[in-house]
Amino acid sequence: MSHNDTIPLYQSSQSDIDEIENMMNQEFQSGPGTVLPARPPSPIRPSIPVTSSPFVQSNLPPLPPPSSSSQKVTSVPVPPSLPPPSSGNFGGGSDGKTIGGSGFGPPPNTLTEPVWDTVKRDLARIVSNLKLVVFPNPNREDPGKALRDWDLWGPFFFIVFLGLTLSWSASVKKSEVFAVAFALLAAGAVILTLNVLLLGGHIIFFQSLSLLGYCLFPLDVGAVICMLKDNVILKMIVVCVTLAWSSWAAYPFMSAAVNPRRKALALYPVFLMYVSVGFLIIAID
């Protein structure tokens, strides 16, 4: 590995034999183990053409200053122009090719991208997940495909928002209301997922948590409306409508995950949890 004992900052540091070998390599094979470090010279951080799908965690508020430290790398040449992987050091690089191409455009060079890009990508993911889960769309028949790109930020914000709304509506014991709402929803989501897994269903833990969190969105809307208008009849109607909406949103994913004979066993607890949240919303005064 003579290429790695001196750090090749400049291509002129290669010896002649290496150059001949490189030329022969390029003729003979374009396979793995290309010895030519096909990187642009003197990058601040080398750009690795990694093929990978977008990431899991995302965030809502942008972070202004970190982007200044990463703006330096925006001048590094764009990855797709580089030849295929110059070093094999990315886990699942070849898997990433197949996945990365499935609907997210050309796979981004995520290891050296500017921070703002990460933030925007994660925000876009939250919005798209929300649309997939809560609003009618053609992908609902295939639940595995729909929430393939799960993230937990959306659910986190919805749960916190619901807790805050309930807490705000309450005139006494605000802290308890918030704690109860948060614990109920978080523990409830975990237990419901375990329920499906124990029923022999095929569901991925975080995907299910993500789904149950996103399905809280209608109840969030309902809670806000109930907070603004204090009429009991109106509250009941609003809660019933949003409850039906939440259950409708959660139904295809949960029912597809289990054996058809056990569908009711899997769906009933979900419905129960949403009903109890609905009662919390109505009962808060």
1 alpha-carbon distance from chain centroid: 39
- Choose among 193, 189, 240: nearest CA to 218: 240
Shortest approach of another protein to residue 254 CB, angstroms?
A: 15
Place of tokens 């639940």: 143
- Does position 7 bind another protein by CB under 8 A? yes
Among 33, 105, 138, 260, binds another protein (CB under 8 A): 33
Q: Which is nearer to another protein, 110 or 245 (CB)?
A: 110
CA–CA dist 76, 265 (Å, integer): 54
- Choose among 192, 211, 89, 197: nearest CA to 148: 211
Instruction: Please choose, out of 56-64, 188-196, 227-235, 271-279, the segment that lies near another protein by the rule CB under 8 A.
Output: 56-64
Quick one: tokens of 118?
A: 């990460």
**CB-count exposure of residue 40 (10 Å: 0-12, 13-18, 19+):** exposed
- Does position 68 bind another protein by CB under 8 A? yes
Among 11, 26, 59, 259, binds another protein (CB under 8 A): 59
Shortest approach of another protein to residue 34 CB, angstroms?
A: 9
Please give the backbone phi and psi of residue 202, each rounded to the nearest 5 degrees, phi first: -105, 100
Among 97, 131, 174, 263, binds another protein (CB under 8 A): 174
- Does position 282 bind another protein by CB under 8 A? no
Q: Which is nearer to another protein, 83 or 234 (CB)?
A: 83
Shortest approach of another protein to residue 55 CB, angstroms?
A: 5
Among 75, 89, 136, 260, binds another protein (CB under 8 A): 89
109 alpha-carbon distance from chain centroid: 18
- Choose among 172, 195, 152, 170: nearest CA to 59: 152
**263: which residues sit within 8 A by CB, 6+ positions away?**
254, 255
Instruction: Please choose, out of 89-97, 131-139, 213-221, 237-245, the segment that lies near another protein by the rule CB under 8 A.
Output: 89-97
Among 14, 165, 193, 207, binds another protein (CB under 8 A): 207
**CB-count exposure of residue 197 (10 Å: 0-12, 13-18, 19+):** middle
Site string for another protein, 153-172 (x = CB under 8 A): x--x---x--xx--x-----
- Does position 14 bind another protein by CB under 8 A? no
- Choose among 7, 36, 34: nearest CA to 19: 36
CA–CA dist 268, 274 (Å, integer): 10
Among 11, 98, 137, 259, binds another protein (CB under 8 A): 98
Q: Which is nearer to another protein, 82 or 241 (CB)?
A: 82
Among 111, 227, 236, 240, binds another protein (CB under 8 A): 111
Question: How many of the chain's residues bind another protein (CB under 8 A)?
Answer: 71
Q: Which is nearer to another protein, 81 or 175 (CB)?
A: 175
